């Protein structure tokens, strides 16, 4: 081969490399533009409506006024909702972390029989969904329900239709998140650190406060970061347990405002939404500063040893019994209550009557297009959006954590804005956006629901993928880059294959979130784009409990089937962080 031919080939490959780099850079800016449009445009329209005295749907002109904020802040219901929100959030987060730490300690530090089987069961509340869980509790405490009978036999009659009942049930839903963080933290603490403190004479209390808890701090604060945002934005549990007795938190107060008049007071709703976003952002900033630099908690040791404590068999079996009781009593009974209603002719609330066993409610689901469309829409959105999201958030996580430059940091910040925004507020902002730009054809479609879900939960996908990427040595990636490997080539042949099982876990969590999401859907669905959660909520509002229970059972079965399939086929380890 002549020298000139070799030079031409080299030049051609050089130009190809430049073109690939341009494509990669263009893709990065496309992601930035997508999140800027999907986040900043709806938020701008929300703020625009909040500070305008008129309706932006009638005239998109700024008529600056603070009257909407004055109306919102002058309402006693708003202040009641704000107080309830803080009680609900603080109580559920505190109780959820007590439960999460307890379960994590039992399963990581004690020798509990069949601990490997208990671990995935700890995540059941996530896969059940807070909507179905709260419905199960609501039905179980009504006359003739399972809890009503059990507590009645003890001479007790507890009520859960109050803010304290809400926070107890929310804590059960939050427990898997805190358990995931706490178990990861306990597994990363080398017992030799604690043993060394004891050798020099430190009592157990000092070891706990000066060694164990400081090393757990980054995990605890990260868990608080996520769970506080989730409870502050929660709508399913407060709606089911609070709306019947007009007990509001801020998210359900927005729903109450929407039904207060015709047309709804859009300006006041926008003002309340802006206030919720501001509170969320303040919480994010405070928690981010508390978390700070976690590298100061890194421990470098030699070869570790078994982290479990020598546990007497009676103690191990007692722990297993406690975990079994928790799963059966606090999760199994509400689920069985929902199933009982779905299998009972007439859909009455009470213990299952075998003489009235019937599949009529499931047949009704099959015969009515409304229900079949809701199931189809939910499964379609969850499957397609989760599959796209796991890849895109993986690429985003790589860009943010392995590349330098202003654009990488900007992309990370844009992705975190939606998770800091309550879902019901984001849904409301998206509604006004698609109504203003109706020519785009997104209003009332499944597509806008998928886009909203993807943008809202992208930060969670990024966070989970970040942990997978950080486990891979940078040197391999850098060597491939030096050899001329493109970004997409490195991702396809190095990063993603090495993280395959972990990314399947990310997919499972995202699929579950999309299947069970309610708050973002409230203002975005139309007749042909209903999803399962919205349909269940509508059935609850109209007291069609039989169809509601059957549809809830179908949702749980679909989620469990997908999760079980992924665990079986891809050896997925379930985790929430």
Query: What's the per-residue H, E or C state across 364-418?
Result: HHHHCHHHHHHHHHHHHHHHHHHHHHHHHHHHHHHHHHHCCCHHHHHHHHHHHHH
User: What is the band of 351 on the pLDDT scale with cuts at 50, 70, 90?
Assistant: low
Question: What radius of gyration, in Å, describes the C-alpha atoms of the chain?
Answer: 26
Among the ranges given (282-286, 322-326, 355-359, 492-496), the one the predictor scored with the smallest mean pLDDT: 355-359
Which H or E run contains 192? helix 191-199
What span, in angstroms and rounded, lies between the C-alpha atoms of 177 and 504?
Answer: 18
Output the pLDDT for position 291: 63
Over the stretch 19-72, which tens digit does the pLDDT of each residue have? 556 777 788 888 899 999 999 999 999 998 999 877 777 765 667 788 899 999
What span, in angstroms and rounded, lies between the C-alpha atoms of 542 and 3?
Answer: 81
Over the stretch 98-153, which tens digit does the pLDDT of each residue have? 999 999 989 988 889 988 889 889 999 988 889 999 999 999 998 888 999 999 89
Output the pLDDT for position 13: 44
> CB of 276 within 8 A of CB of 217?
no
| DSSP label at residue 64 | B
Tell me what the mean pLDDT of segment 216-222 comes to.
80
Output the pLDDT for position 187: 77
- Give how far Cα 489 sits from Cα of 49, 92, 464, 481, Å: 45, 45, 22, 9
What span, in angstroms and rounded, lies between the C-alpha atoms of 518 and 495?
Answer: 33
Over the stretch 371-407, which tens digit does the pLDDT of each residue have? 999 999 999 999 999 999 999 998 888 888 877 777 7
Q: Is the dihedral of CA 506, 512, 515, 521 positive or negative?
A: negative
Tell me what the mean pLDDT of segment 273-298 comes to.
74
Tell me what the mean pLDDT of segment 188-209 comes to.
72
Q: How many CA atoms lie within 13 A of 382 on its CB side?
A: 26
What span, in angstroms and rounded, lies between the C-alpha atoms of 266 and 431?
Answer: 11
What span, in angstroms and rounded, lies between the C-alpha atoms of 392 and 415?
Answer: 12
Residues contacting residue 144 through CB under 8 Å, at least 6 positions apart? 348, 349, 350, 351
% of the chain exceeding 70 in pLDDT: 88
- Give how far Cα 128 sits from Cα of 136, 149, 242, 336, Å: 10, 24, 20, 12
What phi, psi does 52 have (nearest 5°)?
Answer: -110, 140
- Give how far Cα 329 sits from Cα of 325, 343, 552, 573, Å: 6, 21, 19, 25
Q: Is the pLDDT of residue 311 over 80?
A: no
Output the pLDDT for position 62: 62
Q: Is the pLDDT of residue 577 over 80?
A: no
Output the pLDDT for position 190: 67
The tokens describing 374, both together, are 């809701």
Output the pLDDT for position 197: 74
Q: Of 47 and 260, which is predicted with more confidence?
A: 47
Residues contacting residue 315 through CB under 8 Å, at least 6 positions apart? 110
What span, in angstroms and rounded, lies between the C-alpha atoms of 259 and 277?
Answer: 22
Residues contacting residue 172 through CB under 8 Å, at least 6 positions apart? 96, 99, 125, 133, 330, 331
């Amino acid at each position: 081969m002549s020298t000139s031919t070799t030079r031409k080939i080299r030049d051609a490959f050089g130009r190809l490399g430049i073109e690939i780099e341009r494509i990669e850079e263009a893709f990065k800016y496309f992601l930035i533009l997508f999140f800027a449009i999907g986040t900043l445009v709806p938020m701008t329209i929300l703020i625009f409506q909040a500070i305008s005295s008129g309706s932006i749907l009638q005239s998109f002109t700024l008529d600056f006024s603070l009257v909407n904020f004055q109306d919102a802040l002058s309402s006693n219901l708003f202040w009641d909702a704000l107080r309830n929100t803080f009680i609900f959030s603080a109580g559920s987060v505190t109780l959820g972390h007590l439960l999460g730490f307890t379960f994590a300690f039992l399963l990581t530090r004690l020798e509990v029989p069949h601990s490997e089987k208990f671990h995935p069961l700890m995540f059941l509340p996530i896969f059940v969904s807070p909507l179905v869980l709260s419905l199960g509790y609501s039905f179980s405490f009504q006359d003739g329900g399972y809890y009503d009978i059990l507590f009645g036999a003890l001479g007790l009659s507890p009520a859960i239709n109050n803010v304290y009942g809400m926070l107890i049930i929310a804590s059960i839903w939050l427990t898997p998140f805190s358990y995931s963080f706490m178990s990861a933290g306990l597994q990363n603490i080398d017992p030799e650190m604690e043993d060394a403190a004891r050798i020099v004479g430190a009592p157990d209390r000092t070891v706990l406060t000066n060694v164990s808890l400081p090393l757990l701090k980054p995990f605890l604060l990260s868990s608080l970061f996520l769970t506080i945002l989730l409870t502050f934005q929660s709508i399913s549990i407060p709606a089911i347990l609070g709306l019947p007795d007009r007990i509001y938190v801020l998210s359900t107060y927005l729903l109450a405002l929407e039904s207060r008049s015709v047309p709804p007071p859009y300006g006041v709703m926008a003002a309340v939404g802006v206030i919720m976003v501001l509170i969320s952002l303040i919480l994010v900033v405070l928690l981010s500063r508390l978390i700070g630099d976690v590298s100061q908690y890194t421990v470098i040791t030699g070869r570790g040893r078994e982290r479990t404590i020598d546990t007497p068999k009676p103690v191990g079996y007692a722990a297993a019994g406690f975990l079994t009781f928790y799963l059966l009593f606090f999760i199994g009974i509400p689920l069985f209550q929902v199933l009982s209603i779905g299998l009972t002719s007439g859909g009455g609330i009470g213990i299952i009557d075998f003489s009235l066993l019937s599949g009529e409610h499931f047949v009704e689901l099959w015969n009515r297009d409304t229900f079949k469309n809701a199931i189809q829409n939910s499964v379609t959105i969850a499957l397609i959006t989760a599959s796209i999201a796991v890849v895109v958030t993986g690429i985003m996580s790589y860009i943010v954590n392995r590349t330098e430059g202003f654009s990488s940091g900007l992309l990370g910040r844009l992705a975190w804005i939606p998770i800091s925004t309550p879902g019901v507020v984001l849904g409301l902002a998206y509604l006004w956006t698609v109504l203003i730009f109706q020519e785009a054809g997104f209003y009332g479609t499944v597509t806008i629901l998928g886009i909203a879900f993807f943008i809202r939960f992208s930060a969670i996908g990024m966070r989970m993928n970040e942990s997978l990427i950080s486990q891979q040595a940078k040197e391999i990636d850098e060597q491939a880059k030096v050899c001329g490997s493109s970004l997409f080539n490195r991702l396809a042949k190095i990063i993603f294959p090495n993280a395959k099982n972990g990314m399947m876990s990310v997919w499972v969590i995202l699929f579950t979130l999309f299947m069970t999401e309610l708050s973002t859907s409230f203002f975005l669905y139309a007749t042909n784009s209903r999803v399962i959660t919205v349909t269940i909520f509508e059935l609850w509002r109209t007291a069609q409990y039989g169809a509601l229970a059957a549809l809830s059972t179908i949702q749980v079965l679909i989620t469990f089937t997908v999760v079980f399939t992924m665990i079986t086929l891809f050896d997925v380890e379930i985790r929430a962080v």
